[in-house]
Chain A
Amino acid sequence: MTMASPALSPQDTCSVCGAPLSATKRHCPTCRADVGAPNVRRCCTNENLKALATRFDDARTRATTIGCSKEFCTLSDLMEKKFGVVVSMPAGVARKLFEDPNSLYANYEQLVGGNLRKSAGLNNDRHRCAVGGILFGSYANSIIYGALSLAENGLPTYGTVHCRLRSITIDKRTSFLETNSFKFIQDHGIVPGSKLPVGHIACWEHRHYLVLAKLADRLSAGQTESDWQAILIQSDGNDRKNDSFVEAHIFKSFDRNAIESLTATTGKKLRREEKLDLDIAISKFNSIKRKLR
């Protein structure tokens, strides 16, 4: 197997000015050229790509052995066409996404600037950074977590509202980890300062390698798209420890225009204000969609 994209290293030099690049920064410190999201660049090191290719090849062999080479190929094709990222969030956050002060006010940006709030010193937020920091270092706070999905739903344990994102808005800045990052760190015994095991992360272009490497052993003859969605995202809706999914890492935030579909978790009892927030988000999303048509 060969990988299509050039193998970059986080320690590479800038293609524009030749200066050394930081593994954790998106822009060249010297000429400010955009050198790509650091989480994506890390997936594209020769070492990781080789390891991922090896795991993918092994998976295909295993699938063939169990008589599922057809399913392996179908799933691989399907992934390129239909797989997307779903971010799950509380209803209040979804509602907030659809509030747009810039369209409501005149001179809003001039008066309050881009950031209305003085953001918290999240670098000191050990809890939020404990895991993210191990995986991403200083840009951990720039990572938005989602799940790879064949459908519109995500993980109900992470929020009431599932937003499937338009691929074009995130494909250059999204990477994938084969499982929940907490579980990954736990399973691999990773501690701060450890070198991360290779072959378990992928950029957008190679996301199907990661999924097939993970799921090959669970393929069986005659499986359909809904079966694969069921094994790709597993959750009992209550305990996150029982969740299983491929984790998406999006570098930096997104806005409402990045949302392709918006759905609610079914069967979960919501508080009154959560229900209201959810209905607002859905109504606003539908209204935007109607306008775009």
Chain B
Amino acid sequence: MIGISSRSAGVLLIPKPGIGEYAVLDVVEGQEQDPVEAQYIYSAVQDWEEIKGTDPAALLETAKREYWLVRTVSLLHLAIGGLEEPLEKRVLEHVEEILGSRVSSEKALDRLLVAPLANPRSPLTPANSALSYGFSAVASILDELAELQPLLHRLTDLWLGLAETAFSDFSESREMIWTTLVEKCGMKQLLKAGSRHEFTTQWNLLAFHFFAPQSRSGVGILGKELSRRLFPSEEQEEIIAASLTEAAKPTSGDEEEVGVHEAFKRVERQIAAIAQAVSEGRDAKAEKFLRELIRQQTSFSGGESHVVKSLCNIAQRCADMFRMDFEFVCLDKALQLALSDAWTLIQYGNHLKRAGNYDKALEVFDQAEQLGESYVARSSIADVYSQQGDYAKAIHTYKAIPNWNNEPKVCTAIADNLRRMGLMDESEAAYAELIHLAQQGLSKFADSEIRAQIGIAEIAKRQGKLKDALRAYHGIMARKNVDDRERFFCRLGLCHVLKLMDKFDDAYAIVDEVIQDYPFSMEARFVRGSILGLIGQELKGLKDLPESIGPPSWREWLRPYYRGLLLLKLQRYGDAKKNLVEGLSNAIASGEEKAIVRMAAALYFLREDETVEVDGILSQIPDLHDCHAQYLSLILKLHSATLREDLAVMESLRKQIAEIRIVDERLEKVVVALGERNFSLAITYETDALLKLAA
């Protein structure tokens, strides 16, 4: 049975059996109207849609569902576009009611993702209004809509960049395929896909909505093409490389002669524009700029070496943004232009290391070693072991480098690894030795002094000597010979100490300044997001913690970790689980970092009272050397034992906790809260402790 529905008028025409006429139903009330009415409803032809159902009741049900969904989306469009205040409140209240009873938030969000917003931040104003009125469902949708904009931009850029021939198998128009995708395929899930597999699994749902076999096969081909571009991996490298190589061919000798300075300035601007496009998720635009950069630089004699440097520069910026996918695109191209360049190979190996592709990274460093860069290559190999959490092997490898104790960077790395192993005295001695050598005037060691002092400050922090750590960081900051990179790390380190001391305003001021200086540093943004969460501005904090665009990488675990904790505070438990629990399985982390990620996942399960899961996760946490982390892990274990009412374990844990130096007064309050079985208060304190902990 086929009915005709007007979604804005809320009218359904249902055929009457045998007489060739239609019953006209009011979708909201389900009542029959004057049959004459349908003719006079002014509604554009496009507003009328055929719907199918087994009987009139099923048709009415479908029409109702669609009416309320379209109404929700329409009202949200109006709110995003701007409404006068009293009207805005009524609209948001109405939408909140609809979302509570008639329409799923997920479906409404999918429909809103039909195209990127002209102003990606436009949903935030009504989101804040909704929150101030207490309409949390509306606030969540609008907030997520804003968050997903970079991902949506990226997908639509790729979609619009596809050649017309990609659609030649379809009998449907390109626009109709997109519309079907938005309405039937779950855009949010598609955008959030973290891998090729996840993307294609979601994408292939689209095939069920096309009946022609050719269209169905076209869906598969399109999905493969998009996933290739969204998630470049080894077998796809050739495609990207081929397109770039083609574009990179020197075009002709008629390239306008430009001065060296002008050319340098232009390249700077191009690199900034590429980085900006990548940060916004506009990959097609970034690739276009990249091709242009390559074309221009290779048009000069000997320009290949310049372009390789430019590509490595962009790759580093991408790494700062945790955009591993685009970093790879740049490095892949650089390697094609300079396959025997050891430094490019080392940067590529570092990329692989951060991606957790350790075996391949080691292979690449071996190649670099054969090209003559033995010291850096061996040191990089040791870095791989360190990142894997095998600190002893890392130290062993560093010490196998000839004349290692005369290499300040190697000595610093050894001290760092000793610290990670929990050998604080040995580590501190190693840092002190570096400082001593620098102060003796050994020029080679001059640069390592600041780095060593940062190491000592970190030791003080881990031992709970926060005032010492603060003093040490302030001392470093007061010095004039601190280079930009060291100052960057120093400021972030100082910020973490201030967080642990509950000096959130000071911490915020510092990290905000870092972001002004390094707008592409996602790590700094993550930290700012965590501080905002600690001062009760979770929604604002989430803006600094957007969904990931690229594949996971080292240190990127901070994103789902902080994000999940903020979502937990916002009581968006489904999303919190995705970030904290799934984030755990995807995290490229080791040692204490991995332990911290585990604690966050355990916290989620504690909120759910799922103690079996909690205990399973916490049992994987080894002995910790950071006193804050150690204290918190015991608190979480106590929380679980209290839930289970396991008195013996509770008693044992209380004793252990009492023996530890109190490093966070609010965590001490958790012990009291658990004693009173006030679990929600305990969760609040534990969440804040985790937000403060990660660094």
Q: Which residues of A contact B (CB under 8 A)?
A: 87-90, 92-93, 95-96, 98-101, 103-108, 110-113, 115-122, 125-128, 130-132, 141-142, 144-146, 158-159, 182, 240, 253, 271-273, 276, 279-280, 283-284, 287
Contacts and interface: CB of A to CB of B under 8 A. Distances in A.
Given A89-B41, A107-B115, A128-B39, 15 more contacts: A90-B11, A92-B9, A93-B6, A93-B42, A99-B81, A104-B81, A106-B115, A106-B118, A107-B116, A112-B114, A119-B48, A126-B20, A145-B42, A182-B36, A283-B84
Interface in B21-37: 21-22, 24, 28, 34-37
5 contacts: A103-B118, A113-B179, A116-B46, A145-B39, A273-B94
Contacts of B80: 104
Contacts of A287: 84
Interface of B: 4-11, 13, 20-22, 24, 28, 34-50, 71, 74-75, 77-78, 80-81, 83-84, 87, 90-91, 94, 114-118, 122, 156, 159-160, 173, 175-176, 178-179, 182
A112 B187 CA distance: 14
Contacts of B182: 112
B518 to A, nearest CB: 28
Contacts of B44: 253
Contacts of A96: 8, 43, 47, 74
B45 A119 contact: yes
A144 B43 CA distance: 8
A105 B74 contact: no
A95 B9 CA distance: 10
B114 A93 contact: no
Contacts of A110: 160
B334 to A, nearest CB: 32
A240 B36 contact: yes
Contacts of A105: 114-118
A280 B83 contact: yes
B43 to A, nearest CB: 5
B78 A158 contact: no
B38 A127 contact: yes
B50 A120 contact: yes
B176 A141 contact: no
Contacts of B115: 101, 105-108, 111-112
Contacts of A120: 4-5, 45, 48-50
Given A96-B8, A111-B114, A119-B49, A127 B90 contact: no
Contact of B117 (A104, A119, A276): A104
Nearest to B116: A106
B205 to A, nearest CB: 19
Nearest to B82: A287
B103 to A, nearest CB: 13
A210 B411 CA distance: 100
Contacts of B46: 115-117, 119
Contact of B47 (A104, A117, A131, A146): A117
A120 B81 CA distance: 29
A122 B4 contact: yes
Nearest to B93: A276
B21 A112 contact: no
Contacts, number: 168
Nearest to A255: B44
Contacts of B24: 127
B251 to A, nearest CB: 29
Nearest to B29: A271
Find the residue from A90, A99, A110, A240 having the highest chain B CB count within 10 A.
A90
A155 B386 CA distance: 80
B83 A283 contact: yes
A128 B114 CA distance: 31
Contacts of B22: 125-128
A131 B39 contact: yes
A33 B113 CA distance: 39
A220 to B, nearest CB: 31
Given A280-B87, A283-B84, A99 B74 contact: yes
B78 A284 contact: yes
B159 to A, nearest CB: 7
Find the residue from B5, B10, B115 having the highest chain A CB count within 10 A.
B115
B116 A280 contact: no
Nearest to B45: A119
B546 to A, nearest CB: 18
Nearest to A161: B42
B48 A276 contact: no
Contact of B42 (A104, A113, A159, A182): A159
Contacts of A100: 81
Given A101-B77, A117-B49, A159-B41, A92 B118 contact: no
B8 A121 contact: no
A234 B269 CA distance: 70
B21 A101 contact: no
Closest 3 CB pairs of A and B: A113-B175, A105-B115, A96-B8
A112 B42 contact: no
Nearest to A241: B36
A120 B24 CA distance: 15
A121 B74 contact: no
B74 A111 contact: no
A263 B237 CA distance: 61
Nearest to A87: B42
A144 B37 CA distance: 13
A101 B114 contact: yes
Contacts of B84: 283, 287
A119 B176 CA distance: 12
Contact of A88 (B35, B42, B159): B42
Contact of A240 (B34, B48, B175): B34
Contacts of A240: 34, 36-37
B40 A108 contact: no
Contacts of A273: 28, 71, 94
Contacts of A130: 21
A278 B80 CA distance: 18
A121 B114 contact: no
A113 B48 contact: no
A127 B21 contact: yes
Find the residue from B6, B9, B37 having the highest chain A CB count within 10 A.
B9
A105 B28 CA distance: 29
B155 to A, nearest CB: 10
Contacts of A280: 75, 78, 83, 87, 91
Contacts of B175: 111-113
Nearest to A155: B40
A279 B78 contact: no
Contact of B10 (A90, A103, A141, A283): A90
B181 to A, nearest CB: 10
A106 to B, nearest CB: 5
A41 B95 CA distance: 46
B126 to A, nearest CB: 12
Contact of B13 (A98, A127, A142, A182): A127
